Structure 1
Amino acid sequence: MPKVSIIIVSFNVRSYLVSAIDSILKSNYSNYEIIVVDNNSYDNTVDIVSDKYPKVNIISNDENVGFGKAVNQGAKIASGDYFLILNPDTIIEEDMINDLIEYIESNKNIGMVGPKILNSDGSLQLSCKRSFPTIKTALPKIFGLDKLFPKSKWMGRYNLTYLDPDDNHIVDAISGSCMLIKEGVFRKINGFDERFFMFGEDIDICLRVWKENYQIHYYPKTKIIHYKGKSVNIAPYDSKRAFYHAMDLYVDKHYSSTLGVLSKFFIHLGIRLNKFLSTVSDKKSMIISLILDSIFITGAFVFAIDFRFGNFTPILSSQGFVPFIYVALWVSVYAMLNLYSRYILSYSRAFIGTVLGFLVAVLFTYFFNQFAYSRLVIITAFAIITFLIPGWRVFTRYLISRGYLGVISQSKSLLFSRKTIIAGSDEEGIRIAENILKRFDTGLDIIGYVDKRYPKSEEKLPIPFIGIFKEIRQLINTHKVNEVIFSSSALKNKEILDFMDSTRDLRLTYRMVPNEQDILLGKSNIEDIGGIPFINIEYNIFHKLHRFSKRIFDIIISVFVIILFAPLIIWFFILGKAIKIDFWGENAEIISSRIFDTKIKFLKDIPLLFNVLLGKISLVGSSLIDTKNANPHILCKPGITGLDRIRNIKVGPDTRKAAEHYYIQNQNLKLDIEIIIKTLING
């Protein structure tokens, strides 16, 4: 059995690295060594890996020397017959190393081989098989034609999208995230070119392998997950600039002697064009939101002017200055609230910005009364803008939560929670569910468990068991599932990757919880799902401003609903449908109230609004615990609804207490409104 040296370069991705090493340790291939080269991480990577994995060889650099040079450092102390160059943000199948070794040894002409690589959503990572960049292969990619015509041999040439991803292929290059290379070949070509700090080094080494008359193969019978670019995302330098510098370096190195001046000019021009288009693409969310807001504000004023005057004279007489000036005023206010940068989909900021924009517009017309055609125009436009600007953001969040749009930022809104199942109902799966149930800031709505087989008993499960893997497509459609969390102890890595590969068309988000850790590994981030610290926490709900605004909100809503349903309330009391109840309040106070004898939950709770008016309870607060139970020592006023009511499962005392702590720490009107809406939706 040949020895394999697994070389991993790490930079501030400790949690991903630990998960990668754990997946290697599950491998059915026994003759290997692991070498981790750390590029001066500041997340305590070296100490954690040293303590947890004493057999792992660690090289700790005093600075970030780049990927290629770090791999070469690892290769100098490697003793294997093969080098497996592996990124730290990967998870391998148990039989991947064995399968790659068997395949590369079956053909002496193969110098390097790579597996099928999946993104965290189960889709194919296109870089796992590709052609060398030339004018002919790069142009369709630069202009996006490869996405429009992926099956075209010319259009899809760069990423070889016209080839069947489930068949073996001889390819120009494979991804540097996972490549198995013969030790002799690696040393013959002197390893990686250390001038490539980051990016381009994998294409370069592949070309040099080919120049030594060795083939490179793509072998999809085994798979890995690659979370892609985790070190890049937190690198303290311009990664985009590093990428295009690497492309220039690659062209100058390999094409300077074979191409004419004009050809090289057009290649470098193409690189600059690709950089420009990439920059525009990175800003597309900001650009789209700015355009949509401008269109809606313009449309609101055009409608309001036509509604008021029956013609467009104000627009024509001002030569378009109206409504342009109002668009500029509102958009400027939104920009000051970071609505086109950090908070693109914040509907609460959009609402606040709309109100502030209205005030600015009123002030503008006061000082420049030549543009004050009518108060009705401003008010009408304001009403439309109030609906449309926050409205399209709410709708977009809904589409994202249902998987119809790509994620701009991972939604953690209570209103737009992501329906989630946990794959694996073992002890680790139970621990994962219990931790998530105690957290209300994850944006996850846990539906239930799925597993390979039905459990012997469901009594210990904190959430329902909804089915087995054979029924997964039906379960996902029935429960409208958006996300799957895998228990790494219940399933083999191969089972997880096969599951992801077979359901990639369902637009799911897949997350993994490394064994006995309190984190979710996913494409966008590492998310903590451990316990919530309660020491030295500032409680929002006890601030005078929050208490005042909450009280005013309670009074307005309760008065409105009581007036609206007054005939029904009187009728129910006449019929004797009011039932007396007693429940615990703050400081062991016993609160008496009435509820209606009806199966309709909303109507049932309406009499409680009188207690809200009296200030005994709130619309949103702690749980209503019957005095037949022991005093729960609630931390704030009980509420008609609360965090524990927004989930369609029974919650225990620990989860209820966690909900209270989260609520009093984070209470604000936006959170109260989201809880009320979510309660009404859930019935």
Structure 2
Amino acid sequence: MSTTSIITVNFHQEAVTIALLQSIGKHYDGKDVEVIIVDNGAKQNQENVFQPYFENIKYIQSKENLGFAGGNNLGIKQAIGDYIFLLNNDTELPAGCIETLCAELEQHKNIGLLSPLLLYYDRKDVIQYAGFTPVNHLTGRNATIGELDRNEGQYANKSHQTGYCHGAAMMCRKEDLLRAGLMEENYFLYYEELDWCEKFKAIGKQVWFTGKTHVYHKESISVGIDSPLKIYFHTRNRMLFIRKNTGLMNTVLFSVYYTLIACPKAVFKYLFNQQSHLAKWVLKGLLWNYTHRKDSKNLGFDLQK
């Protein structure tokens, strides 16, 4: 019998993580599923907080906030499952989700990473994600397929190759992960799952979406909309992704566009909306790329500045 390791990262959201554990416990026991909780930025050991809600929990305390990539990597290193299921703590599972994802990986050996349909938790008839288009390497932009569509079955029972998986829920075989490698931790937040998809593509595997199952996602619980954190890392990591995954000529062309057009446009938007406190984080995210190597782990982020 195959086993699955669910890895979720908690960052000061114990109640949210407990709700995830409860949703897992409704449908699964600890025989074939282990849940690894990486407690990011936890000053105290909180294993006893989570332990009552699922019978097979592996708790990892990290006093340092390692970000999404670093936290998941910490969990991956201790996972014993044949399948690795990275799952945001602000999600909840329906019945049969894990079995369906595992079956897709068994049926299609060419799949490296697989994401299910994502539905908004508070609007369960509305789609958040049904795949991604490829990234345009000259603009660093891509689009979410199905975003804000009504869930009327147009994606149900369909599985196909897609541009990228969604970091809120993605599964892979452990044997493929060992070949592709861990996530790049210098992203810290945002774009790390896109970069990870590129790693799986590099070992000859494909990235797929399936509408045969779904996950409910409580979007923006962790970061919020238009927060300095979100703006900084989106700006910074959009360029970092291009630097890491394209050649020199493409990086130069993108940098010209990004520096002279895209980022100034974003700055003027925030200034026009009287949000100068947000505009500066666009500039900080852009500047980081001109002052740090693409493999640098110096995040250059301080909310107090």
- TM-score normalised according to structure 1 size: 0.36
CA distance in 1 between partners of 2:131 and 2:273 (Å) = 25
Percent sequence identity over matched residues?
23
* Residues 1:58 and 1:269: Cα distance change in structure 2 (over 3 Å): farther
1:25 counterpart residue number: 25
1:129 aligns to 2:131 (yes or no): yes
Structure with bigger helix share is: 1
For residues 274 and 46 of structure 1, the distance between their equivalents in structure 2, rounded to whole angstroms, comes to 46
Structure number with higher relative contact order (C-alpha < 8 Å, ≥ 6 residues apart): 2
Preserved CA contact (<8 Å) 1:118 1:225? yes
The residue number in structure 1 matching 2:164 is: 173
> Is the contact between residue 256 and residue 264 of structure 1 (CA under 8 Å) also seen in structure 2?
no
Q: Aligned equivalents of 2:8 and 2:22: distance in 1? A: 13
Look up the equivalent residue of 2:215 and give its one-letter code. Answer: I
Tell me, yes or no, if the aligned pair for 2:160 and 2:210 is still in contact at 8 Å.
Answer: yes
Aligned residue pair count: 265
Shift of 1:41: 4.0
Q: What is the alpha-carbon root mean square deviation over aligned residues?
A: 3.0
Q: Which residue of 2 aligns with 1:385?
A: none
Q: Specify the alignment match of 1:524 in structure 2.
A: none
1:94-142, CA deviations, whole angstroms, 9 ceiling, x for partnerless residues? 100001001111011011111110112221113x511232157756xxx
* Deviation for aligned residue 1:62: 0.8
* Structure 1 counterpart of 2:186: 195
Q: Distance in 2 between matches of 1:218 and 1:281?
A: 39
Note the alpha carbon deviations across 1:621-677, whole angstroms, 9 max, x for none: xxxxxxxxxxxxxxxxxxxxxxxxxxxxxxxxxxxxxxxxxxxxxxxxxxxxxxxxx
- The amino acid that maps onto 1:10 is N
Distance 1:59-1:273 versus aligned 2 partners, 3 A rule: same
* Equivalent residue runs for 1:588-603 within 5 Å: none
How far apart are 1:281 and its partner, in Å? Answer: 9.6
Match of 1:225 in 2: 216
CA distance in 2, matches of 1:260, 1:14: 41
Regions of 4+ moved over 6 Å: 280-284
Kindly indicate which of the two structures has a greater share of residues assigned to strand: 2
Contact 1:172 1:207 in 2 (8 A): no
Residue 53 of structure 1: CA displacement?
4.2
What is residue 173 of structure 2 aligned with on the other side?
A: 182
Measured in 2, the distance between the counterparts of 1:278 and 1:216 equals 35
Cα distance in 1 for residues equivalent to 2:274 and 2:5: 41
How big is each residue's C-alpha offset from its partner over 1:571-590, in whole Å with a ceiling of 9 and x where there is no partner? Answer: xxxxxxxxxxxxxxxxxxxx
Give the direction of change, closer, same or farther, for the CA distance of 1:114–1:269 in structure 2 (3 Å limit): farther
Q: Gapped runs of 5+ residues in structure 2? A: 276-305
Task: Note the C-alpha offset of 1:271.
Answer: 4.5
In the other structure, the counterpart of 1:16 is 16
TM-score by length of 2: 0.77
Cα 1:262/1:246, change in 2 over 3 Å: closer
Partner Cα distance (2:273, 2:59) in 1: 36
The question of whether the paired residues in 1 share the 8 Å contact of 2:25 and 2:53 is answered with: no
Report the 3-state secondary structure (helix = DSSP H, G, I; strand = E; otherwise coil) of the residue aligned with 1:239: helix
SS at match of 1:187: helix
Aligned CA distance change for structure 1 residues 171 and 137 (closer, same or farther; 3 Å)? farther
Find the aligned partners of 2:72 and 2:273 in 1 and give their Cα distance.
30
Deviation (angstroms), 1:213? 1.3
Q: Distance in 1 between matches of 2:134 and 2:58?
A: 34
8 Å CA contact 1:27, 1:97 repeated in 2 = no
Structure 1 unaligned regions, length at least 5: 140-156, 285-683
Letter of the structure 1 residue corresponding to residue 186 of structure 2: R
TM-fit CA distance, 1:224: 1.0
Q: Kindly state the Cα deviation for residue 161 of structure 1 after the two structures are TM-superposed.
A: 4.3
Query: Which residues in structure 2 correspond to 1:431-580 (within 5 Å)?
Result: none
Match of 2:145 in 1: 160
Once the two structures are TM-superposed, the CA of residue 185 in structure 1 deviates from its matched residue by: 1.7
* 1:337-356 matches, cutoff 5 A: none
Q: Which structure's CA Rg is the greater one?
A: 1
Counterpart of 2:108 in 1: which secondary structure?
A: coil
Shift of the 260–180 alpha-carbon distance from structure 1 to 2, 3 Å rule, reads closer
Name the counterpart of 2:203.
212
